[in-house]
Chain A
Amino acid sequence: MKPARFEKIIIDPITRLEGHGKIIVVLDENKNVIKAYLQIPELRGFEKFLEGRMAEDANIITPRICGVCPTAHHMASTKALDDLFHAEPPPAAKKIRELVYNIFMLEDHALHFYVLAGPDFIVEPTAPKEERNILGVLKKVGDLGLKIISVRRKLRLINEEIMGKVVHPTFGRPGGISKPLSEDVVKELKEIIDQALWLAVTTENVFKKIIETNNEVAKYLKSDIYREETYYMGIVDDKNRLNFYDGKIRIVDPKGREVAKFDAHDYLNYIAEHVEPWTYVKFPYFKTIGWRGFKDGIDSGVLCVAPLARLNVSDSMPTPRAQEAFEEMIKFMGEKPVHYTLAMHWARAIEMIYSAERIKELLEDPDILSKEVLNIPTKTPGPIGIGAVEAPRGTLIHHYESDERGILTKVNLLVATQFNAARISLDIDKAAKMFVRGTEISEGMLNMVEIAFRAYDPCFACATHAWPGGLKLVVEFYDSKGGYLGKKYLDANFTTACNIN
């Protein structure tokens, strides 16, 4: 009697997001999905090699964690350094930092919406793979696409003027920033701010239009397949309104009730990490509940961060147009917290609107032209400095410890996407169980699994994403004891090699 055989389908690589991820889908002999795993083979060891470094080098080194959101790391790091060196930045410096930060949030969200995720819903998730990419998006939206690329580029150039470099900024200092704003750059910003707001509102309209046209994405927007009832976390101001740059970290439970609201300094009371041996990414969770495994619900410590989570923990938006958009989304989705993963895209567009409005507000503040942008630290540094911001992909915490010379002795980093790692696993597992079935596993089916992943806009993004091509798969065969039997390659049609004798 032949032993039962398991089949593994490995989606490698997953596309239009974090580079080296793999999704491993395990099927039993009846072709039912037993489980899908997300594996991340990435490790560089920043927490270790920052030890022994001058603390002020941290905001230069940590942006190299991510070249897509380097500004987030630079900002969290600089705030941790403010803390470590006991230097309070002057009000103008904080405003300039927040200004630059919102420009960054806006252009980064735009990148994800159009280039990474866009092909799935602007074109179609099961469209031919040749169309399902940025070229397909540009074809569908025409010159609009070129204008979007151009506005985004202009915003990045402006930020580069202020921060030194747009990839790996260098202007933050403990106690402020290195140099005041020039009148020229403020003028440039004022000239482009309407285009920035246009970009944000257009993005919201694009998404709303897609829902109206009732295509595949709209169908799944309110489906239980892409739904997890987890805890949500994000930074809010003292009125429980969204703020990317500063505030308190708030956690709400799956019913929307506040269960924690704390200063970043107290994060260790609320956040812990779990390790699995089959992946390099760690899984942070809500410590008060504890790690109960890969499941959602009020009894599981699995957290969610990033746009949808931020909107879920906010009572309102601080700016008017964003508030309108926020109310509209909540009403349409019919619940708060919104648990439907694909609403992440909508939330992202709403955050773009908030960013644009916030930039406009800050531009009107005469303080941003102040020359008082740095309070040089005078006290002995250390022992601890902690800073947190909302990165595009979620809450980001930098924790530094140093000696009295300001040399780092210990570092801990909780990096945005990590907080979503467990929930992403839940989503792809569910999607795999729903979509991957039968003797013919189509490429479109597998893309529906990837859609679950993309909504979170995981850490890495590469803008010229999605070019034509079919998914090629490796199918590995195992016996019921997990012993390896061999592998087969599927061709572009995926109709062969799925029959197991």
Chain B
Amino acid sequence: MSPKVRVALYWLASCGGCEESQVDAISDKIDIISNLEIVFWPVAMDFKKEDVEKLPDESIDVAIINGGVRFKEHVEMVKLLRRKSKIVIAYGSCASWGGIPGLANLYDINEVLSKVYSEVPTLQEKGVMPRPKSVTNEGMEIELTEVLPMLLPLDAVIDVDYYIPGCPPTPETFLKALETLLSGNLPPRKSVIGASTRALCEECPLNKTKPDKVLIKEIRRIYNTKIDPSKCLLVQGIPCLGPVTRGGCNAKCPRVGSPCIGCYGPLDKHIDYGAKAISFIASILDLNDENEIKKALDNGIPDPAGLIYKFTLPASRLKVNLKRGEHK
């Protein structure tokens, strides 16, 4: 009778989709809970930060953290969990590479704050912004955690042992990763677990209609294209990122005629997911004239960053819009 695995779960700037998928996984395999002893889970349990502080270092077997690092209080929490845990897992795309909230790195944080609290048309009184310290109408001083100038993936702040990819990781991915962790046979540190080591095309039902050499004369946007959901999307001119994206999700999006958007992230040898995606898209475009190429790109890919960096911008080599770094 093996002892229960002590698990801590925590969430940063997250949408809750990872949790929902974990619940789906547990609904599918309810006895998995009997292997786990959950010692910290603020969203579900009442243990506090000081309870974790009181634990001996490395007494938590596995800390599973999802969400991107967005606030100062996130940094404190994850550093604490790192000290107290043997293994730390970056769970989901946000913790692994920044995720969709990472798109905020295309803008200076002050631009973001200004838009949300000062510029949208529903705001009537401008000039009030959330502040680290403020005084309420009743005269009470209240502290509010500060937002960081950029969104960071988990490994920018602490040492991460394993990554579980996906937005969210599917129930199957979660269960597979748990199986790996509970097996006692741990893969090399820094591995991505629970998913495939091959590109998504391998498991895509449309793969049979994908020719060896994909060559298109035009890149199309999905909104004005009559897509045949039974044929490879690339052949129809839709920039599907399957060829540069890790598999493991069972190609859920292509199954309904939607292109892969890369939420399972890069394959093992990629340094920068976005750069790889650029290389791939360029290689299927069958045009040689500079003007024709420019036109095809302007029509089909008016927003390269949005297309290729939806999930991985903070983990890319450049990380942010460097324009905003300009300061004297």
Q: Report Cα–Cα, A414/B121, bound state, in Å.
A: 11
CB within 8 Å of A: which of B1-16? Answer: 11, 13-16
A377 and B21 in contact, given A41-B71, A278-B144, A464-B26 (Cβ under 8 angstroms):
no
Task: Write out the residue numbers on chain A whose beta carbons fall within 8 Å of the beta carbon of B307.
Answer: 54, 57
Task: Write out the residue numbers on chain A whose beta carbons fall within 8 Å of the beta carbon of B16.
Answer: 19, 66-68, 459-462
Task: Write out the residue numbers on chain B whose beta carbons fall within 8 Å of the beta carbon of A218.
Answer: none
A178 and B229 in contact, given A12-B48, A412-B120 (Cβ under 8 angstroms):
yes
Q: Would you call A203 an interface residue if the criterion is a C-beta within 8 Å of the partner chain's C-beta atoms?
A: no
Q: Would you call A222 an interface residue if the criterion is a C-beta within 8 Å of the partner chain's C-beta atoms?
A: no
Q: Report Cα–Cα, A88/B44, bound state, in Å.
A: 43
Is B23 in contact with A462, judged by CB distance below 8 angstroms? yes
Q: Report Cα–Cα, A412/B257, bound state, in Å.
A: 28
CB within 8 Å of A: which of B105-143? Answer: 106-107, 111-113, 115-117, 120-125, 128-131, 134-142
Is A462 in contact with B144, judged by CB distance below 8 angstroms? no
Q: Would you call B50 an interface residue if the criterion is a C-beta within 8 Å of the partner chain's C-beta atoms?
A: yes
A44 and B256 in contact, given A268-B121, A405-B302, A464-B22 (Cβ under 8 angstroms):
no
The stretch that binds A, out of B79-87, B96-104, B192-200, B273-281, is: B96-104
Task: Write out the residue numbers on chain B whose beta carbons fall within 8 Å of the beta carbon of A20.
Answer: 73
Task: Write out the residue numbers on chain B whose beta carbons fall within 8 Å of the beta carbon of A406.
Answer: 221, 223
CB within 8 Å of B: which of A444-474? Answer: 459-472, 474
| A51-68 vs B, Cβ < 8 Å mask (1 yes, 0 no) | 111111100110011111
Q: Would you call B269 an interface residue if the criterion is a C-beta within 8 Å of the partner chain's C-beta atoms?
A: no
Is B223 in contact with A377, judged by CB distance below 8 angstroms? yes
Q: Report Cα–Cα, A462/B120, bound state, in Å.
A: 30
A53 and B303 in contact, given A16-B44, A44-B70, A276-B128 (Cβ under 8 angstroms):
yes
Q: Report Cα–Cα, A500/B47, bound state, in Å.
A: 25
Is A279 in contact with B120, judged by CB distance below 8 angstroms? no
A469 and B130 in contact, given A164-B256, A414-B122 (Cβ under 8 angstroms):
no
Q: Would you call B248 an interface residue if the criterion is a C-beta within 8 Å of the partner chain's C-beta atoms?
A: no
Is A167 in contact with B141, judged by CB distance below 8 angstroms? no
Residue on B nearest A67 in the bound complex, by CB: B17
Q: Would you call A152 an interface residue if the criterion is a C-beta within 8 Å of the partner chain's C-beta atoms?
A: yes
Q: Would you call B42 an interface residue if the criterion is a C-beta within 8 Å of the partner chain's C-beta atoms?
A: yes
Q: Would you call A441 an interface residue if the criterion is a C-beta within 8 Å of the partner chain's C-beta atoms?
A: no
Q: Would you call B209 an interface residue if the criterion is a C-beta within 8 Å of the partner chain's C-beta atoms?
A: no
Q: Would you call B59 an interface residue if the criterion is a C-beta within 8 Å of the partner chain's C-beta atoms?
A: no
| A168-181 vs B, Cβ < 8 Å mask (1 yes, 0 no) | 10110111001100
Q: Report Cα–Cα, A54/B26, bound state, in Å.
A: 36
Contact check: which of A35, A133, A474 meets B136 at CB < 8 Å?
A35
A19 and B43 in contact, given A12-B48, A37-B142 (Cβ under 8 angstroms):
yes
Task: Write out the residue numbers on chain B whose beta carbons fall within 8 Å of the beta carbon of A381.
Answer: 223
- Shortest beta-carbon distance, A501 to chain B, in Å? 21
Contact check: which of A178, A407, A414, A483 meets B257 at CB < 8 Å?
A178
A67 and B20 in contact, given A179-B257, A272-B123 (Cβ under 8 angstroms):
yes
Give the interface residue-count category, chain A.
Answer: 35 or more
Is B27 in contact with A152, judged by CB distance below 8 angstroms? yes
Is B144 in contact with A467, judged by CB distance below 8 angstroms? no
Residue on B nearest A281 in the bound complex, by CB: B130
Q: Report Cα–Cα, A276/B117, bound state, in Å.
A: 10
Is B142 in contact with A268, judged by CB distance below 8 angstroms? no
Q: Would you call B318 an interface residue if the criterion is a C-beta within 8 Å of the partner chain's C-beta atoms?
A: no
Contact check: which of B13, B125, B140, B302 meets A407 at CB < 8 Å?
B302
Q: Report Cα–Cα, A275/B24, bound state, in Å.
A: 36
Q: Would you call A160 an interface residue if the criterion is a C-beta within 8 Å of the partner chain's C-beta atoms?
A: yes
Q: Would you call A43 an interface residue if the criterion is a C-beta within 8 Å of the partner chain's C-beta atoms?
A: yes
A471 and B124 in contact, given A54-B221, A67-B18, A462-B19 (Cβ under 8 angstroms):
no
| A82-108 vs B, Cβ < 8 Å mask (1 yes, 0 no) | 000100000000000000000000000
- Shortest beta-carbon distance, B171 to chain A, in Å? 10
Q: Would you call B183 an interface residue if the criterion is a C-beta within 8 Å of the partner chain's C-beta atoms?
A: no
Binding site for A on B (CB under 8 A): 11, 13-24, 26-28, 30, 33, 38, 41-48, 50-51, 70-71, 73, 99-101, 103-104, 106-107, 111-113, 115-117, 120-125, 128-131, 134-142, 144-145, 147, 167-168, 221-227, 229, 252-253, 255-258, 261, 302-303, 305-307, 310
Binding site for B on A (CB under 8 A): 6, 8, 12-13, 15-16, 19-20, 24, 26, 34-35, 37, 39, 41-45, 47-49, 51-57, 60-61, 64-68, 70, 81, 85, 129, 133, 146, 149-150, 152-153, 156, 160, 162-168, 170-171, 173-175, 178-179, 268, 271-280, 282, 284, 287, 291, 293, 374, 376-378, 381, 399, 405-407, 412, 414, 459-472, 474, 478, 482-484, 489
